[in-house]
Each structure stands twice: as structure tokens, then as C-alpha cells.
Amino acid sequence: MIQRWFQIRYISLILGFMLFIALVSGYTVYVTTWVMLGEKLAAVYPQGLLFEIVKKVNLTLIIRLLILTPFVIFVGLILSNRIAGPIYRIKKHLKLVASGNYDMPLKLRQKDELKDVAEGVNKLVSVLKRSRDSKKRAVDDVLGKAEALERAISDDVGNKKGLLEEVSRLKEALVQIKKD
């Protein structure tokens, strides 16, 4: 189980739905059979034997439901895993992206659901990566120009100390922008 509570709720819904359908269809077949055959069988079988037949039918229905329940749980687990697995991977991938790692694309298994969501996440990450790279190039360009200006001011012996300090502050601000 990947996402325990999600999968337990999902399997519970499937199991509840199965039991509801079994009860409705069982009740329908059961009532129809006994209404149609009850009078005919009552004439052939003594009342006690008819009661034993009804008990056996009830026991058979309960046993079959109990036998089918693990199968339904197993199928529910497989189906919920096709949803819970991708949700887990998407969350994990988004944490990587939030930490600044844009290099690894999100991949899902062949039979997983939510592939369209994964494709959307991959497109979004691609756009974010291009934007980040573009901003870094722009900051690098501005830093280069600030350094060139700083060198030009340093070479000139004039009274431009205040201007040099401003360029240094600009450079520090751009370095900070690049870090973010």
C-alpha cells in the first residue's frame, strides 16, 4: 500500500458497493424464487424440510459472499494502486521541483492513471526551467556589466567613491537575485 488511508477508503467503497449489489440482487433473486416456487414446493415438501432448504440456500449465499470478498479487496487494492501510486509520485516530484531540481521528468507506469496530470506537471516544470535559465542569463549579463563598470570606475582616480559603492551594492543585489 502506497497511500494507506486513500487505498483503504477506496477499497471500502468498492467492498460496500459489492455488498450492496450482492444484497439487492440476492434479495431480488431470493424473493422472486421463493414467491414463485414457495407454494409449489410447500405442496411437495413438508414444512420442516422446506425450512432446511431455505437455511442451506442462505448459508450458500453467505459463504459465496465471504469467498468473493478477498477477491474484491485484491482487485480494489490493484485499482487503487493505479491511482495512489501516481499521486504519491506526483507529490514526490513536486517536492523535488520546489527544492529547485527541474532536471528529472515525472514518469508513471504504463497502466497508471493520471498520465494527463503528469504530462501537465512536466510541461509546467519545463516552462519553469526555461524561465529560471533565462533569468539566470539576464542576471549574469547584468553582473558582467556591473563588474565592467566597477573596473572602469576603479581605474579612474577621480572622486567617484560614492558611485563605486553604488555599483558594489548593485552587484550584491544581483548576486542575491541569482541565488533566489
Q: What is the per-residue pLDDT across 112-152, written as a single tens digit (0 to 9) for each?
A: 888 889 999 999 999 999 988 888 888 888 888 788 777 77
CA distances from 76 to 37, 82, 166 (A): 37, 10, 66
Give yes or no for a contact between 164 and 150, defined as CB atoms under 8 angstroms apart. Answer: yes
Nearest CA to 127 out of 104, 98, 102 is that of: 102
CA–CA dist 116, 126 (Å, integer):
15
Please state the domain extents for the chain: 1-102, 114-180
Q: What is the per-residue pLDDT across 163-175, written as a single tens digit (0 to 9) for each?
A: 777 777 778 777 8
Give yes or no for a contact between 114 and 86, defined as CB atoms under 8 angstroms apart. Answer: yes
Nearest CA to 178 out of 121, 149, 137, 120 is that of: 137
Give yes or no for a contact between 80 and 11, defined as CB atoms under 8 angstroms apart. Answer: yes
Q: What is the per-residue pLDDT across 49-70, written as a single tens digit (0 to 9) for each?
A: 767 777 787 788 788 878 888 8
138-146's contacts with Cβ under 8 Å and 24+ in sequence apart are 139/174, 139/177, 139/178, 140/178, 142/174, 143/171, 143/174, 143/175, 143/178, 146/170, 146/171, 146/174
pLDDT at 158: 56
Q: 10 Å Cβ neighbour count for 64?
A: 12
Task: State pTM to two decimals.
Answer: 0.58
Instruction: Count CA within 13 A, CB hemisphere, residue 151.
Output: 6
